[in-house]
Amino acid sequence: MDKFFSKIKYFIVIILGFALLAQLYRPYILNKNQKESYDFFKALNAPKKVQHLIINSCYDCHSNNTNYAWFDYISPISWYVNTNIERGKTIVNFSEWKSYEEWRKLSTLSASTFNIKNLRMPPENYLIAHPSKKLTQSERQYLTKWFETISRTTLE
Ligand code: HEC
């Protein structure tokens, strides 16, 4: 039995060693200096409530202003988190809104409406770690209505 426990101890030490080593591989900083005038809200003159909801629920993955939680810095969580942010930003980056062409703005607006309505954004696994980012039903309705209204009006 003693032998068994000493083996377990080695095992734990090795695991801890790997966990510590993993911290050396830090993700790069994803937040770039953003040109403010390119931002979604600036461009669209969005109401404060819309700004608040989108910053809270979408900006961590779809803007140049990710608000990292403390555990997001810990490897391997940080690797997973940054891969997701990169994927999210490639598809939609609200900080670079003004540089988007008309067709891309329109498709982003309708895809956002669709994804919010169908509870696909913000993603489920993200909401488990960040429960405060969840949108209530009335918030979802408010946001999607606003998205639909600006899709109909001229964007510039
Ligand atoms: C945890 C990170 C994260 C958050 C928060 C998040 N997204 Fe996403 N989003 C992604 C990723 C990653 C993708 C890439 C597609 C996928 O993996 O589903 C994506 C894809 C999208 C797409 C494109 C989907 C398509 O069908 O083409 C839209 C639009 C979108 N997100 C809007 C939003 C909106 C609006 C919010 C806030 C209500 C939001 N997202 C919150 C990570 C996120």
Q: Is residue 2 part of a domain?
A: no
The dihedral built from the CA positions of residue 11, 13, 17 and 20, taken in this order, carries a sign that is: positive
**116 — pLDDT class (breaks 50, 70, 90):** very high
Rounded average pLDDT over 122-146 = 96
| 13 CA distance to ligand 1 middle (Å) | 39
| 90 CA distance to ligand 1 middle (Å) | 10
Q: Is residue 10 part of a domain?
A: no
Q: Which domain holds residue 145?
A: 29-152
Range among 76-80, 98-102, 132-136 with highest mean pLDDT value: 132-136
The dihedral built from the CA positions of residue 19, 71, 131 and 90, taken in this order, carries a sign that is: negative
Range among 23-27, 33-37, 146-150 with highest mean pLDDT value: 146-150
Q: Is residue 7 part of a domain?
A: no
Q: Is residue 67 part of a domain?
A: yes
Rounded average pLDDT over 13-17 = 90
Q: Is residue 9 part of a domain?
A: no
* Model confidence, pTM: 0.85
123 ligand 1 Cβ < 6 A = yes
Any idea which residue has 């900080």 for tokens? 95
Answer yes or no: are the C-beta atoms of 153 and 103 closer than 8 Å: no
84 ligand 1 Cβ < 6 A = yes
Rounded average pLDDT over 114-118 = 97
77 SS3 class: helix
* Calpha distance 154→149 (Å, rounded): 10
Looking at the structure of the chain, the number of domains it has is 1
